[in-house]
Structure 1
């Protein structure tokens, strides 16, 4: 079993709750109340800044150029199409400017921000990749099952459907595979004490993903 799969299995209960969350299911079928989507988008948009910091730190600490390039390319997607998606969604959903730029952070949002910065500042590539892998792999896991049916949902607004297509498909799968391969390699090469730390980062990130969906849904 791959180390990344072992890490997932170590927190499988929280993983399944995050990737099968009612929030995600209702988003995919278009029944999610718009007030919950507004809260979610405003909170999720705040992650971009620290996600970029964490990814940039991981790129810096990666072993070699082939390890850096896929993540560097993905950062361009975050800064381009994904950022544009947020702005278009904010406009369509009439999200107030104050919520777009400085929303009051929910506790899981604040805690995940802190975890990303902690990983970035740890100086350990494995810790950074563990958090990045969770942040993207969870989204692939919940979005992928809906990727083929999203276009068949009549009248599904773009702020629902496009969020799914951004987190599924061949390219996004390749991003997750790169992150998992990086995590597998660094975990296999780490001493037991560092493996334990990486597992702690991974498990905490999964728990916070689940708590984030809980908070936005409630």
Structure 2
């Protein structure tokens, strides 16, 4: 996977050095942008659980299957708690009084880039029958989240004593559990590339997913009422 990243270095670097994640690490991301980002990211949450479930159903290794199943439990607990608590905190901000109903009601705004990404996840969940395609998608999504934290760690741009709304999100995507998870996904991808056809699927899925991640970050950052 390292070669694949290097072959697509500019695209990958763009994904992990977005203004949204850089400002989050610096503690300067506005409540409006953080709220928009989290509401839109939450739309992926249910799909993420189903995506791992579909990946699990195609896995041919018992040990890997157990690890995938454990991740579903972690997502339903730790990450779900962060969303619930942080959105509740942000909704106390009077400056967000106009954006909250538009984002959080039954017909809340779904940004076009988010809709496009969700459509890709729906294809993966309902139509893909290829483990290498699914495991590559899982790896790429999670690798980007680990990497934007590492990008800021390496540059010393993560501010000390960040508010929990920032620090907890960073911790969820940089702690020992998450690093082990991304390492596991990378090993699974590499284990599954057993032919030129699968190598091409791996490449195409990686590039498409990185592009969707870039569009997602940029659309959340640039959203205005």
Q: Decide: shared fold, TM above 0.5.
A: yes
1:137 aligns with 2:134: no
Distance 2:15 2:186 in 1: 18
1:103 aligns with 2:103: no
1:21 aligns with 2:18: yes
Distance 1:70 1:157 in 2: 32
TM-score normalized by the length of structure 1: 0.89
- 1:126 maps to what in 2? 132
Alignment check: 8 A CA contact 2:25 2:158 kept: no
1:116 aligns with 2:113: no
TM-score normalized by the length of structure 2: 0.87
Alignment check: 8 A CA contact 2:26 2:159 kept: no
Q: 1:9 to 1:145 in 2, by over 3 A?
A: closer
1:168 aligns with 2:174: yes
Could you tell me which of 72, 84, 87 is aligned with 1:87? 84
Distance 1:194 1:118 in 2: 18
Distance 1:178 1:65 in 2: 14
Return the offset for 1:112. 1.5
Q: After the TM superposition, which residues 45-84 of structure 1 pair with which residues of structure 2 at under 5 Å, given as runs?
A: 45-84=42-81
Could you tell me which of 194, 211, 215 is aligned with 1:207? 211
Structure 1 unaligned blocks of 5 or more: none
